[in-house]
Structure 1
Amino acid sequence: MADPKLSRRERLRAETAQEIKTIALAHMAENGTAAVSLRAIARDMGMTAGAIYSYYDTRDKLITALIADVYHSLTDTLEAALAACPGGPAARVLAYAQAYRWWAVANPHQFQLIFGDPVPEYQAPEGGPVAEAEHRACVLLTGLVVDAWPWAAHLHTGDQHDWADYDPVFARLICEAFPGLQPAAASLALRLWGRLHGLVSLEVHGHLGPQIQDSEKLYNCEIVDLIHNLGLAVPAELAPA
């Protein structure tokens, strides 16, 4: 819904910027990430090249905006799933995991934009909207482990990570969001993501199809194992009959 505080001119500009991004994603879906061209988008919109450059003066700035939007779309979906979850830590892991897969399967080209092969010749800026979006996603994921840590900690006493093992920006972000968190909990969060993401990525890229008919059933088995790894009881909907 348009911001009522914006002037008509500002609303039209925002709508045009969004249309540019929508068409860019359509070009990616049809021809891959290398297909993004400001001139081609301008042609599809009936704009001049000069006019589109007043919105995004380089292709890289458009790509940056797209990546940030996609990260926020994914995180919005995950946050909504957690907000609607009435249960405890195990139910929250289940809600997060299922929402992660649902979003990826429903938006394969957006998933590939942020997690697939790098966009040719694209140089991501340091900081800025992409970093902000990535940080938001990291904090949300780590929060799942923080919720479960009272049950999980004793299972991971052999984890010898310390904060020096992590990227300084990531370590600072997580320590600020969760003061007093043990480095082993951050390690567990990254491994949790890696396992969820691994199966989803194989499915989205079509690599599971030749091996299994029910990718969701396989994924749910992985969720059960992850919940056990967190020292939690498996929710009834995933428990064997």
Structure 2
Amino acid sequence: MSRPLSDADLARFKERVCDVAAALFAERGAENVSMRQIAAALEVSPMTPYRYFASREEILTAVRIRGFETFAARLEAAHADTPGDGTAKAVAMGRAYIGFALANAHTYRLMFGLTQQDDAADGPLGRAVARARATLSVIGDRLIARGIPEAEARATEGLIWSALHGAVGLELAGTMPPGSAQDTLTLLARTLGRAG
């Protein structure tokens, strides 16, 4: 007779499900992946994933929550652990952004390449999305503190985020060579430094 699963066993298996599902979702498109395919990739019976998740959509939500939480934590740590002025902190956050995206390409694409109904809701996914977005607002906050009008500061923040996201996406797609996102960050840092 097999022993009952501990909380740690359950958590580990759920992580495995999320890892496998993230790769399948990114490779085939989330809408083209079934619970049966996830089970096959895990080499378990077709019903096993249902013991942990009610649906494919619930797995997708779990993958995206985990991604947003890890992403936000890395950006927050880069900001908190970097001495110096706001530009140095912003550059460190940019490096953390690029590092996360390149190391977690499947999850990154799911985080920013699609939306779910709960993205803006007051639930676990909505809070994870909001936390990740808040980490990116420190650039605009810094510009506002330096006397730049809020509308301009937020537009600059959006421009920087868009440029970095675009460069990362192009590098992940192989359209731009390795190191292109870092080169873009270097240019953005010069622009941000001149803004002050």
TM-score range, shorter chain: 0.7 to 0.9
Q: Hey, which bits of structure 1, 4+ residues long, moved more than 6 A? A: none
Name the counterpart of 1:190: 158
* 2:8 is aligned with 1:11: yes
Equivalent residues in 2 for 1:17-36 (5 A)? Answer: 17-28=14-25, 30-36=27-33
| Cα displacement (A) at 1:136 | 0.5
| Cα displacement (A) at 1:214 | 4.8
Name the counterpart of 1:203: 171
| Separation (CA, whole Å) in 2 of partners of 1:32 and 1:206 | 19
- Call closer, same or farther: CA 1:42–1:142 in 2, change over 3 Å: same
Name the counterpart of 1:147: 142
| Separation (CA, whole Å) in 2 of partners of 1:203 and 1:92 | 23
| Cα displacement (A) at 1:143 | 2.2
Contact 2:18 2:63 (C-alpha < 8 Å) held by counterparts: yes
* 2:50 is aligned with 1:53: yes
| Cα displacement (A) at 1:152 | 4.8
Give ranges in structure 1 of 5+ residues lacking alignment.
1-6, 158-181, 232-241
| Separation (CA, whole Å) in 1 of partners of 2:96 and 2:43 | 37
Contact 1:89 1:148 (C-alpha < 8 Å) held by counterparts: no
2:127 aligns with one of 126, 129, 132: 132
| Separation (CA, whole Å) in 2 of partners of 1:32 and 1:188 | 32
Name the counterpart of 1:227: 193
| Cα displacement (A) at 1:109 | 1.7
| Cα displacement (A) at 1:138 | 1.8
- Call closer, same or farther: CA 1:188–1:140 in 2, change over 3 Å: same
Kindly provide the amino acid, as one letter, of the partner of residue 52 in structure 1.
P
SS of match in other structure, 2:117? coil
SS of match in other structure, 1:13? helix
SS of match in other structure, 2:146? helix
Contact 1:92 1:144 (C-alpha < 8 Å) held by counterparts: no
| Separation (CA, whole Å) in 2 of partners of 1:195 and 1:36 | 31
Identical columns (%):
28
Structure with bigger helix share is 2
Kindly provide the amino acid, as one letter, of the partner of residue 207 in structure 1.
T
- Call closer, same or farther: CA 1:137–1:123 in 2, change over 3 Å: closer
Kindly provide the amino acid, as one letter, of the partner of residue 174 in structure 2.
G
Per mean C-alpha deviation after superposition, the further-off stretch among 141-150 and 49-58 is 141-150
Contact 2:164 2:184 (C-alpha < 8 Å) held by counterparts: no
TM-score norm. by structure 2 comes to 0.82
1:110 aligns with one of 104, 107, 111: 107
Which of structures 1 and 2 has the bigger CA Rg? 1
Q: For 1:83-106, what per-residue CA distance to the aligned partner results, in whole angstroms no more than 9, with x for missing partners?
A: 220111111111111211122122
| Cα displacement (A) at 1:185 | 3.9
* 2:51 is aligned with 1:85: no
| Separation (CA, whole Å) in 2 of partners of 1:123 and 1:102 | 25
| Separation (CA, whole Å) in 2 of partners of 1:130 and 1:12 | 24
- Call closer, same or farther: CA 1:195–1:43 in 2, change over 3 Å: closer
| Cα displacement (A) at 1:194 | 1.8
Kindly provide the amino acid, as one letter, of the partner of residue 98 in structure 2.
R
| Separation (CA, whole Å) in 2 of partners of 1:214 and 1:41 | 33
Q: For 1:162-182, what per-residue CA distance to the aligned partner results, in whole angstroms no more than 9, with x for missing partners?
A: xxxxxxxxxxxxxxxxxxxx4
SS of match in other structure, 1:49? coil
